[in-house]
Amino acid sequence: MAEVIKMPKMSDTMEEGVIASWLKKVGDTVESGDIIAEVETDKATMELESYEDGTLLYIGVEEGGSVPIEGVIAVIGEEGANYEKLLKAQKSSGEDKSEKKGQAEDKKSEPQPSDNGAEKKDAPAYTPSRAEGESSSSSNGRIKASPLAKKMAQDLGYDLSKIQGSGENGRIVKRDIEEYEPQAEPAKQPEKKEAAPAQTIELPKVVGEESYDEVRVSQMRNNIARRLSESKFTAPHFYLTMEINMDKAIEARKSMNEISPVKISFNDIVVKAVAAALRQHPDVNVAWEGDTIRKNHHIHIGIAVAVDEGLLVPVVRFADNKSLSHIAAEVKDLAGKAKSKQLQPKDWEGSTFTISNLGMFGIEEFTAIVNPPDACILAVGGIKQTAIVKDGQLVPGNVMKVTMSCDHRAVDGAVGAAFLKTLKSLLEDPIRIMI
Q: In this predicted model, what pLDDT tens digit does every residue of 159-169 receive, in sequence order? A: 888 888 887 67
Residue 94: pLDDT band by 50, 70, 90 thresholds?
Answer: low
Average pLDDT for 265-279: 97
pTM beyond 0.75: the answer is no
Average pLDDT for 332-360: 91
* CB-based contacts of 206, cutoff 8 Å, min separation 6: none
Residue 362: pLDDT band by 50, 70, 90 thresholds?
Answer: very high
CA distance 365 to 388: 18
Q: Is the pLDDT of residue 223 over 70?
A: yes
> Lowest-pLDDT range, 34-48, 126-140, 171-185, 407-421?
126-140
Give start and end residues of each alpha helix (H) in 109-173: 130-133, 147-156
What is the location of CATH 2.40.50.100 in the chain? 2-97
| Helix, strand or coil, per DSSP, at residue 415 | helix
CATH superfamily for domain 142-184: E3-binding domain (4.10.320.10)
Task: Compute φ and ψ for 174, nearest 5 degrees.
Answer: -55, -45
CA distance 377 to 319: 16
Specify which of 111-125, 176-190, 240-254, 304-318 reaches the highest per-range mean pLDDT.
240-254
Sign of the C-alpha dihedral, residues 76, 79, 85, 91? positive
CA distance 363 to 383: 9
CA distance 212 to 360: 30
Q: Is the pLDDT of residue 195 over 80?
A: no
Asked if the peptide bond before residue 190 counts as cis, ω within 30 degrees of 0, the response is no
pLDDT reported for residue 156: 81
220-433, CATH topology level? Chloramphenicol Acetyltransferase (3.30.559)
Catalytic residue numbers, as ranges? 408
Q: Is the pLDDT of residue 95 over 60?
A: no
pLDDT reported for residue 183: 67
What is the location of CATH 4.10.320.10 in the chain? 142-184
Q: In terms of DSSP bridges, do strands 376-390 and 237-245 run parallel, antiparallel, or are they unpaired?
A: unpaired
Diameter of the chain measured on Cα atoms: 105
Average pLDDT for 250-273: 95
The CATH code belonging to domain 2-97 is: 2.40.50.100
What is the location of CATH 3.30.559.10 in the chain? 220-433
Residue 416: pLDDT band by 50, 70, 90 thresholds?
Answer: very high
Specify which of 8-17, 59-68, 109-118, 236-245 reaches the highest per-range mean pLDDT.
236-245
